[in-house]
């Protein structure tokens, strides 16, 4: 979650004074409020950014027309995020998004005044806006309204981050956190407090109670998955991999992205065990020859560069061990030995896996290939332990080959 403090005052010096206190308290984003911009002009955004270069500065322009012009103006004066009204014309919003992309900033669309918030939120998401704000205005608050009910509906309707604003304080913030808000905007509860720094810290303490629950939940979920992987490993597959390694002249390891990092960690440990091992792509990697082994790591089994390497290894007369979630993938079919690391669901197929990564449609607590890579890392650590026992290598023996030029 992100704490955005709305500086809805009319004097820039007063705004900066409050901002200094809330920044010390840990506030993430500083909002140059609409009243402040109307009073001081766009220079208020520039002054705030100069004073707080380490904070995101939100220009609450509430743009209703000329989206491109106003977003460009805000961007040139240092804004990181610009607010547009959801009741604005679609062209205004689309133009704002286009210009924001050009300047590398973000657009937040405020749903204040929008009748059907869920419908509009979906439309805005399709237009490419970055954040949606569920906002209960001061006049609406005076009539007893709050943003909670609308917030829950909008959060469920869209996949982009949802912000919330409207009379939030220490009592109501836990409710909007529970409802799924990503950005929590607080104004008067902080800016009108006797000690803005202290209130800011207390609000962030509420955030951290949720943060720790999230971290613990993720660790537990990943651990549970790895336990499932451990119990599903097939003896013949792991045995085939280890036998191929022991018999190989040279071992080459190849993986892309995070899988590549897992492979490099494995290669380092094999070097410590005196194996003749190389990482594909490094400048000192020699030619692959007959009698060599390629250990190829790819969750989908369809990563083009990994598949190409496997084909070359086979053409050179070597062997391939494929570590993948899909034994019937292209890599799986090319491999002499396949070690299966179960993916998320039995219904997944390699093409779905790739599409999900490209479209960023994945489980939030285990993004991209996290479960595959974490599981593979521990499998390979297990293989290292087995090889240590097999060759009677101690940790002391391995340390003799550990890098000293570091």
Mean pLDDT per 10-residue section of the chain, whose length is 406 residues:
95 97 97 96 97 97 97 98 98 98 98 95 97 87 78 94 93 91 95 96 90 85 90 95 96 95 96 96 94 96 95 96 95 97 58 47 54 93 95 87 75
Residue 55 token pair: 């904070």
| Model confidence pTM above 0.95 | no
- Is residue 178 annotated as part of the catalytic site, yes or no? no
Q: Which residues of 178-197 are buried (b: 16+ CB within 10 A; e: fewer)?
A: ebebebbbbbebbbebeebb
Q: Is the distance from CB of 30 to CB of 5 less than 8 angstroms?
A: yes
Predicted local distance difference test score (pLDDT) of residue 143? 74
Catalytic residue, from 46, 152, 197, 373: name it.
373
Give the separation between CA 168 and CA 153, rounded to whole angstroms: 18
Q: In what order do the strands lie in the sheet with 293-297?
A: 277-279, 251-255, 293-297, 319-324, 337-340
Residue 117 near residue 154 (C-beta atoms within 8 A): yes
Closest CA relative to residue 250, chosen from 285, 293, 311, 297:
293
Q: How far is it, in rounded angstroms, from Cα 237 to Cα 241?
A: 6
Q: Which of 169, 191, 182 is nearest to 30 (CA)?
A: 191
The CA-CA-CA angle for residues 31, 36, 38, to 5°, reads 125
337-347: buried (b, 16+ CB within 10 Å) or exposed (e) per residue?
Answer: bbbbbbbbeee
């Amino acid at each position: 979650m992100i704490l955005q403090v709305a500086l809805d005052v009319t004097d820039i010096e007063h705004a900066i004074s409050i901002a200094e206190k809330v920044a010390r308290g840990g506030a993430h984003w500083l909002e140059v409020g609409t009243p402040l911009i109307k009073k001081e002009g766009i220079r208020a955004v520039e002054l705030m950014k100069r004073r707080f270069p380490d904070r995101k500065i939100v220009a609450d322009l509430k743009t209703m027309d000329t989206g491109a012009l106003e977003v460009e103006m805000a961007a040139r004066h240092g804004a990181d995020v610009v607010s547009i009204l959801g009741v604005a014309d679609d062209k205004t919003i689309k133009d704002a998004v286009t210009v924001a992309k050009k300047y590398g900033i973000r657009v937040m669309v405020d749903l204040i005044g929008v009748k059907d918030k869920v419908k509009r939120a979906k439309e805005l998401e399709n237009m490419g806006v970055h954040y949606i704000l569920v906002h209960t205005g001061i006049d609406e608050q005076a009539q007893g309204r709050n943003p909670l009910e609308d917030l829950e509906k909008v959060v469920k309707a869209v996949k982009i981050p949802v912000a919330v604003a409207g009379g939030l304080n220490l009592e109501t913030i836990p409710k909007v956190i529970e409802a799924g808000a990503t950005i929590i905007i607080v104004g008067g509860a902080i800016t009108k407090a006797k000690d803005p720094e202290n209130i800011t810290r207390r609000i962030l303490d509420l955030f951290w109670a949720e943060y720790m629950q999230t971290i613990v939940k993720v660790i537990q979920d990943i651990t549970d998955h790895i336990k499932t992987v451990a119990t599903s490993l097939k003896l013949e597959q792991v045995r085939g991999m280890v036998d191929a390694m022991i018999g190989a002249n040279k071992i080459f390891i190849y993986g892309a992205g995070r899988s590549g990092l897992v492979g490099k960690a494995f290669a380092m440990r094999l070097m410590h065990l005196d194996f003749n091992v190389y990482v594909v792509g490094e400048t000192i990697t020699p030619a692959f020859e007959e009698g060599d082994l390629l250990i190829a790591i790819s969750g989908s089994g369809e990563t083009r560069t990994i598949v190409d390497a496997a084909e070359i290894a086979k053409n050179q007369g070597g062997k391939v061990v494929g570590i993948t979630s899909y034994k019937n993938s292209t890599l799986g079919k090319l491999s002499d030995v396949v070690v299966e690391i179960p993916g998320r669901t039995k219904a997944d197929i390699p093409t779905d896996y790739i599409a999900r990564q490209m479209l960023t449609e994945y489980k939030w607590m285990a993004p991209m290939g996290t479960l595959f890579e974490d599981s593979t890392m521990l499998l390979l650590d297990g293989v290292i332990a087995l090889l240590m026992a097999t060759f009677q290598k101690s940790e002391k023996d391995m340390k003799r080959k550990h890098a000293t030029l570091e």
